[in-house]
A and B are shown apart, each in its own frame.
Chain A
Amino acid sequence: MKYTPTIGIECHVQLSTKTKLFSEVDNDARGKEPNSCVSPVDYALPGMLPRLNGEAIKYAIRAGRAMNCEINAFSRFDRKHYFYPDSPKGYQITQFYQPIIGPGFVELPSGTKIRIEHAHLEGDAGKLTHFSNYSLVDLNRVDTPLIEIVSMPDIHSPKDAHDYCKELWRLMCYAEVTYGDLFNGNMRFDVNISLAPEGAKELGTRAEIKNLNSFRSVERAAEYEIKRQTRILNAGEKVVQETRGWNDATGETTGQRSKEEAKDYRYMPEPDLPPINLSQEFIDAESAKLPMMPNDYRKKFEGTLKPDILEILLDYPSLMKKLDQLATREDASEGLSEVTTENEGASPVTTGASDPSPRKPSSRVSLIANLFTSVLLAEEKSAEYLNDLPSTNDLKDLAEMNEKKELSSTATKEVFLKLFDPQMKGRGTKTIAKELGLVQENDLGALEKIVDTVLAKPETQKAQADYKAGEQKVIGFLVGQVMKASRGKANPSAVQEILRKKLA
């Protein structure tokens, strides 16, 4: 029988606020000693009171708006009780009844819309490390602010599950609410999956795969579950509702002990935290701070960049910002070059005036974008490089020099990489290109002189005669001779043009 899979995803996003959700303690425990970012509040010592971090509320508003969600003016906190050593309080402070983020949707690159049921603020738990006969508890992560995002069961394929998680990750990174470091668990996904006979109205029994931390593992786990559940249903058996763990090495999910399954969290209102009641002005002011989102960039660069290149680049928010600046500067420089001349009379005007061809809007953006995908991302150090991008001006100069044919395409790539080189960067594109001797000779007068010397040489006489006799190919030999004489700095296409004219 054919089955339709239905997938819902819960995603926990760690917020990158300076302090924790309920205490004035450093929230960034990366590379820090265990239990060094903790306070008596995190230890839940008697008499300690949580104090809500106002910044986390603002982050939640931005995160919500990034997912086209309504922001609930009124929200409050609840206690979710459970007994486990990762939580000294014996409960988690969460928003069970009245979450801050209401319904919305996330649009996948394919255009499919996945509805968001709601999202809420809560505190993270500590970290446990298990050894043979004991476990160690590190409370650094206790009450790191989290947003838990709950999707509607709108996902029907492992690919869409993957794309949804990836788009969520992008949205949260662009909204600047998280470091987005998946490897270190900044975003974790719980995937609910069930199968129902095709066309059936009711959903089947679901299994939940907890704590996945990569898009790929979400996709693979969903693929595995669909196969496993199909096998069970085809055999006439029933899928057990349970939590399953994912093993990345074996590529399988396994049932976890169901003893703890009987969930009874005894939710109750959190008496230590007064409710949140936001004014529309407050919500609007924070919403307005949301920077450009992936879809804004998709629209902006629609005609400029190929969709597959754009989707690669979208994984790097700082890069997109840079391309946007480049595009904006380009638009602006059309009209501004005149003004610049008047205002900065003393400094030489480098933009516009001497362009050999009229500027094609966005051609520079697409050149730089292509350099990023084809050259930079192939570099071993690309991750490091992406953390510290060259200035917009350096990139603009590079595109301009390429456009004016002052740099060949090979030279453009070489200079581009040097812009990231710790030894070279900051010196400016033009200086670097000159120092490396990569600037092509475009001065037609100078080129003509070189061509004349070459044509006067005895060793080129035969080639000249052959060319005139109709042997077009030998032009290559002559161009080569001129290039040699110019020590590689001549622009080959300009040289060829001059040669053809002279030998016509």
Chain B
Amino acid sequence: MEIKCEDVKHLADLSNFSLPDKEIVALQNDLQDIIKYISQLDELDTKNVEPTYQVFEMENVWREDEILPQEADREALLALTKEEKDHQIKVPKVL
């Protein structure tokens, strides 16, 4: 699988990254190497192997529907954001 310059731009777009041109080429090479490395796995015949979604083989891990007090309150959490207004997180306008 070949990683094109457009693929890197597309991924950057999806993640809302701004990417200078010179970094695009560097990332393109890096990604290409990674894909090539991982592609070695394609040599294995997995036709009769169940896909693995989870390595711990656990199932049905769930909790009771009870409200628990939270250690971090609203102010503590809002303090982590860059900007807040009226107890909400302020972000550049998005539509």
Contacts and interface: CB of A to CB of B under 8 A. Distances in A.
A337 B86 CA distance: 63
A254 to B, nearest CB: 13
Given A19-B67, A25-B70, A35-B74, A136 B90 contact: yes
Contacts of A139: 89
B1 interface: no
B94 A24 contact: no
Interface residues of B, number: 35
B85 interface: yes
A136 B91 CA distance: 6
Contacts of B72: 39-40
Secondary structure call for the A interface: loop
A35 B84 CA distance: 11
A250 interface: no
A278 to B, nearest CB: 8
A349 to B, nearest CB: 46
A34 B86 contact: yes
B93 A131 contact: yes
B59 A274 contact: yes
Nearest to A22: B63
A444 interface: no
B65 A18 contact: yes
A431 interface: no
Contacts of B56: 274
Interface stretch (B8-16, B22-30, B36-44): B8-16
A36 B58 CA distance: 33
Nearest to B59: A277
A264 B72 CA distance: 34
B62 A134 contact: no
A343 interface: no
B10 to A, nearest CB: 7
B21 interface: no
Contact of B60 (A18, A36, A128, A274): A274
Interface in B36-95: 53-54, 56, 58-68, 70, 72, 74, 77-78, 80, 85-95
B74 A38 contact: yes
Contacts of A56: 65
A62 interface: no
Nearest to A24: B68
A136 B59 contact: no
Interface in A114-130: 128-130
Given A53-B65, A274-B60, A276-B60, A137 B91 contact: yes
Nearest to B89: A137
Contacts of A25: 67-68, 70
Contacts of A34: 86-88
A223 interface: no
Interface stretch (A77-85, A369-377, A401-409, A494-502): A77-85
Given A25-B67, A83-B15, A264-B14, A35 B61 contact: no
A476 interface: no
Contact of A24 (B53, B61, B66, B77): B66
A52 interface: yes
Contacts of A18: 65-67
B66 A19 contact: yes
Given A137-B91, A274-B60, A264 B67 contact: no
Given A51-B62, A275-B59, A35 B88 contact: yes
B88 A275 contact: no
B91 A276 contact: no
A131 B15 CA distance: 23
A247 to B, nearest CB: 15
A145 to B, nearest CB: 10
A269 interface: yes
B63 A51 contact: yes
Nearest to B52: A269
Nearest to A266: B14
Interface of A: 17-19, 24-26, 33-36, 38-40, 43, 45, 51-57, 76, 81-85, 90, 128-139, 264, 266, 269, 271, 273-278
16 contacts: A17-B65, A19-B66, A34-B86, A35-B77, A36-B74, A36-B87, A54-B62, A76-B53, A83-B15, A130-B94, A134-B85, A137-B88, A137-B90, A274-B58, A274-B59, A275-B54
